[in-house]
Structure 1
Amino acid sequence: MQTINHLRSLGLFFIFAYLITWFIWAPYYMPSLFPVSWHVDPFFHYAGLAGPLLAALLSTAIQNGKAGVRLLVHRIATLGSSLWAILAALGIPFVIVLLSQIISAIVDHEPISFRGLGTSREMPGLSWFTFAAINIFVVGVGEEAGWRGFALPRLQGSMTAMKASILLTVFWAIWHWPLFFYPLSGYYHMDIFGIAGWLFSLLLGSILFAWLFNSSGGSVLTCAIFHGMMDIMFISAFPNTHLASYNGMLITILGFLVINRFGAQNLSSKERVTAIE
């Protein structure tokens, strides 16, 4: 019975997440139906990122009522029980970019520079504070409340954390497809090799999010901080042109270290978090 409830909940969630986000992102893949300026308007990009959060709240309310919504909101609003998970969420993205800068300085003779940190090529007029707040509380919470706060615990109820992360990556990747029509996104100019690399990085990211989610006792906020910090560090307008490939390499290494250290069962030293229904 619990498995059936999980499948019903997940079905509702994925349908809602896709419908809400894809409706908001419609100006990107159906530009002829909207004013020309909407095709390159970043507002729709960031508004669409609330889709997984809204889908999680709707699906939880339908399936689990007020008690389920309270549990989800608790996961979104609290940092969890692990101090090191919080520190990892804050520090790992900075360490990765620092190491990438050092590698690039050695290999490519690029100077180490953090000029451009906290600036966005998509919205260059933003202050550092606004850029950080958008990435943590709009991008991070908007996505992680759905993918990790709602979907991951239900998937982990019937499979290992590793299998859950792989399966969730598939649904997560499909959700992104309208951004491949958005000219200001990094997806727009990807070739087949770029897409393959992106899918692999998404999988490694899913594993790392599961690691932090389970290690923190189910804290969406910890995952949102990590997601936001990764975006801040990885999409900031740094002058160094080689960082992306080194960032990807280091994320890959970290992902394999997590799998090797904690194992596929829980991807954590703690038991994986499952939904209570």
Structure 2
Amino acid sequence: MSSTVSWVRQHRLTSFFVLAYVVSWTPWAFDAAGMSLGTPFFPGGPLVAALVVIPLADGRRGFRELGSRLIRWRVGWIWYVVALGLPVLMVLLTGVVASWLGATAPDLSSVLWADVALVLALRMVDPADSALGEEPGFRGYALPHLQDRLSPLAAAGVLGLLAAGWHLPLVALGNLGWIGIPSTVVITVLYVWVFNRTGGSLLLALLFHASQGAFTSGMVGSGSADEERAASVYFAVLVVAVAAVVVLDRPAWRSAPPSAVGSEPDAAPEPAGAGH
């Protein structure tokens, strides 16, 4: 057991990503074998992986760091506007451009905004949903440790590729169009920007993810021609948004703030069950 703990401590990121993939992909394997577990893909894999790796690799300190990021709400009102409003702005821009290209123009008068608000709220508290299922692991745990070793932009690239790979079963199942894979890589840069600019606030990353999911639901699916056109336009909008934040906010990419970086990898963890 001690050798396992020692290995996880020395390879915490590898342990986290392998476990996140295994937990989320296992239902897919059972489904392919004709033995359904009720869902073909479990979005809460990164959350489960973080909750397993933290006590082994980081102990109580790791839980304190994750918890403090989750309740880090004093970040300035403008970042709440960014986290909630940027996804909406990108969706609206996508709808306008897609309509110029021949897609059916979105009918905002038919949108049930109370339902959208309910979906957004539920995504914040449902661990089986991608917002709460992903963010504590990908942004709350993995990103700070990646930024121990890499620049914010390089960390965004690595995390984006690994998060995109984690979504592959959804493409195979038809729940996500192929454009969703590069879109995941690109939008990770925005997540890292919001996370770092709010001093490592996991709460704001959760809000951003919940808003994105509530307003883009079905957009990157593999359904109608209109949906596929909108998904391609959305990808282009993401690229423009990422280019804007990288070029216009260059200081954000030089180094991550100390509050958005994890503990030193070789630091001895305090046991999860230890007292003060």
Is 1:21 matched with 2:21? no
Where does 1:170-181 land on structure 2 (aligned, <5 Å)? 170-181=161-172
Q: Which residue of 2 aligns with 1:253?
A: 240
Choose which of 103, 112, 131 in structure 1 pairs with 2:119: 131
Does the C-alpha gap of structure 1 residues 165 and 6 become closer, same or farther in structure 2, counting only changes over 3 Å? farther
**Structure 1, gaps ≥5 residues long:** 120-126, 188-194
Q: Which amino acid aligns with 2:16?
A: F
Q: Distance in 2 between matches of 1:179 and 1:132?
A: 21
Deviation at 1:105, TM superposition (A): 3.8
- Please report the TM-score for the alignment, with normalisation by the length of structure 2: 0.77
1:174-227 CA distance string (max 9 Å, x none)? 2223223324x124xxxxxxx3x4333222111111000001111112111111
Q: Distance in 1 between matches of 2:111 and 2:213?
A: 11
- Please report the TM-score for the alignment, with normalisation by the length of structure 1: 0.77
Does the C-alpha gap of structure 1 residues 163 and 244 become closer, same or farther in structure 2, counting only changes over 3 Å? same
Q: Which amino acid aligns with 2:139?
A: R
Q: CA RMSD in A?
A: 3.0
Choose which of 214, 227, 230 in structure 1 pairs with 2:196: 214
Deviation at 1:128, TM superposition (A): 4.4
Q: Which amino acid aligns with 2:91?
A: V
Q: Which amino acid aligns with 1:204?
A: V
Q: Which residue of 1 aligns with 2:98?
A: 104
Q: Distance in 1 between matches of 2:255 and 2:75?
A: 13
Where does 1:1-277 land on structure 2 (aligned, <5 Å)? 8-28=11-31, 30-32=32-34, 34-35=35-36, 43-45=39-41, 48-108=42-102, 110-114=104-108, 117=111, 128=116, 130-137=118-125, 138-183=129-174, 185-187=175-177, 195=178, 197-236=179-218, 241=227, 242-263=229-250, 266-267=252-253, 271=257, 273-277=260-264
Q: Which amino acid aligns with 2:121?
A: A
**How many residue pairs get matched?**
248
Does the C-alpha gap of structure 1 residues 23 and 130 become closer, same or farther in structure 2, counting only changes over 3 Å? farther
Q: Which amino acid aligns with 2:176?
A: G
The answer to whether the Cα contact below 8 Å between 2:46 and 2:136 also exists between their aligned partners in 1 is: yes
The answer to whether the Cα contact below 8 Å between 1:53 and 1:141 also exists between their aligned partners in 2 is: yes
1:41-77 CA distance string (max 9 Å, x none)? 5x454xx111101111221111111121122022123
Q: Distance in 2 between matches of 1:83 and 1:268?
A: 24
Q: Which residue of 2 aligns with 1:124?
A: none
Find the residue that maps to 2:253 and give its secondary structure: coil
Q: Distance in 2 between matches of 1:250 and 1:213?
A: 20
Deviation at 1:171, TM superposition (A): 1.7
Identity of matched residues, %: 25
With 82-91 and 252-261 compared, the bigger mean Cα shift is at 82-91
Deviation at 1:6, TM superposition (A): 7.8
1:11-50 CA distance string (max 9 Å, x none)? 221122122212244344x242x15xx6xx5x454xx111
**Structure 2, gaps ≥5 residues long:** 1-6, 265-276
1:93-115 CA distance string (max 9 Å, x none)? 11112222222344427434136
Does the C-alpha gap of structure 1 residues 254 and 237 become closer, same or farther in structure 2, counting only changes over 3 Å? closer
The answer to whether the Cα contact below 8 Å between 2:83 and 2:207 also exists between their aligned partners in 1 is: yes
